[in-house]
C-alpha cells in the first residue's frame, strides 16, 4: 500500500514509531541503534527505517518540520498503517531559566495559536495532552537510567522566524516552558484517532542564556534522548 507521502508496505511499518523531524537523524538512529534495519521510505526526502531494538520491531520515521508536516505523517501512520504509538524526539528552545541547553524535556501538553485542530477535526482546542500512561513509562525508564527529566508544556509555533513574540504571556499565562514546531499536531492526531503519543525533547537553545547547539550537534548529541525513547517505546504492549 502507499499514501501520497509514504511508499512503505504496511507490513514494513512497526506499530511503534520513533519520529524525529530531521531525516538525517532518522538515518543516524537506524545506523547506530537498530539491528537488521532497512530503508522503507524516501518520498520527498522524508526517510524512514524499520529494524529491531533489543528484539522489538521499531520504525524510525522523519516528520519534517512544522505542525502541517507532522500532521500529515502522523495521520497517515495512525490511520493507514495501524501505528499504535508515536514518540516524537526533537529539539526545543527554552523560555525559562530552569531549562538549560542539553536538558531532557518530556512534553505533557502542547499549546498553539494555530488553527490546525479546527481544520483537522473541527475542534477549537488550543491545548492538547500527551498520553499519560506513555509518559509514566518514559518517566519510570528515565529513573532506571538515572537520567534527569523535566516535564511541562510546549508552545508549538507555525513560524520559526518571528519579529515579535510575547514570551512573558506564553510562560506566565499559557504555562509554556519551551518552543518547538511539531508536538501539537501529533498530540491532536493521536487523541482524535485514539492512539498513543508523546514527545521527548532536548533543549537545543535558550532564549534566556542565548546558548545554542550547532546543526551537527543537533543530529549527533541527542543520544541520551534517543536511548530513552527506544527503551521506553519497546515497553508498550
Radius of gyration of the chain (CA): 16
- pLDDT single digits (tens) 16-75: 999 999 999 999 999 999 999 999 999 998 999 999 999 999 999 999 999 999 999 999
Q: Is position 205 annotated as part of the catalytic site?
A: yes
In sequence order, the 6+-apart residues with CB closer than 8 A to the CB of 157 are: 112, 113, 114, 179, 180, 181
Contact 71, 156 (CB under 8 A): no
pTM confidence score: 0.95
What is the rounded average pLDDT of the residues 124-147?
97
Give the residue, 2 or 154, on which the prediction is more confident. Answer: 154
Structural domain 10-233, CATH architecture: 3-Layer(aba) Sandwich (3.40)
Q: Would you call 60 exposed, middle or buried from its count of C-beta atoms within 10 A (0-12, 13-18, 19+)?
A: buried
In sequence order, the 6+-apart residues with CB closer than 8 A to the CB of 139 are: 106, 149, 151
Contact 167, 54 (CB under 8 A): no
The span from the CA of 59 to the CA of 111, in Å, is 27
> Which residue among the candidates 36, 125, 136, 205 is catalytic per the annotation?
205
Amino acid at each position: 500500500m502507499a499514501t501520497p507521502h509514504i511508499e512503505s508496505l504496511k507490513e514494513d511499518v512497526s506499530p511503534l514509531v520513533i519520529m524525529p523531524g530531521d531525516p538525517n537523524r532518522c538515518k543516524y538512529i537506524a545506523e547506530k541503534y537498530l539491528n537488521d534495519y532497512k530503508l522503507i521510505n524516501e518520498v520527498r526526502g522524508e526517510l524512514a527505517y524499520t529494524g529491531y531494538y533489543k528484539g522489538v520491531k521499531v520504525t524510525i520515521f522523519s516528520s519534517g518540520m512544522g505542525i502541517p508536516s507532522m500532521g500529515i505523517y502522523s495521520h497517515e501512520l495512525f490511520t493507514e498503517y495501524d501505528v499504535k504509538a508515536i514518540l516524537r524526539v526533537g529539539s526545543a528552545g527554552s523560555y525559562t531559566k530552569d531549562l538549560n541547553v542539553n536538558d531532557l524535556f518530556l512534553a505533557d501538553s502542547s499549546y498553539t495559536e494555530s488553527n490546525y485542530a479546527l481544520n483537522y477535526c473541527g475542534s477549537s482546542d488550543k491545548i492538547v495532552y500527551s498520553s499519560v500512561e506513555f509518559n509514566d513509562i518514559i518517566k519510570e525508564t528515565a529513573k532506571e537510567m538515572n537520567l534527569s527529566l523535566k516535564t511541562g508544556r510546549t508552545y508549538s509555533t507555525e513560524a520559526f522566524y518571528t519579529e515579535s513574540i510575547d514570551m512573558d504571556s506564553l510562560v506566565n499565562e499559557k504555562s509554556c516552558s519551551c518552543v518547538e514546531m511539531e508536538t501539537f499536531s501529533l498530540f491532536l492526531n493521536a487523541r482524535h484517532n485514539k492512539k498513543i503519543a508523546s514527545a521527548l525533547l532536548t533543549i537545543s537553545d535558550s532564549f534566556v542564556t542565548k546558548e545554542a547547539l550547532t546543526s551537527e550537534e543537533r543530529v549527533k548529541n541527542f543520544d541520551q534522548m534517543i536511548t530513552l525513547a527506544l527503551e521506553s517505546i519497546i515497553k508498550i504492549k
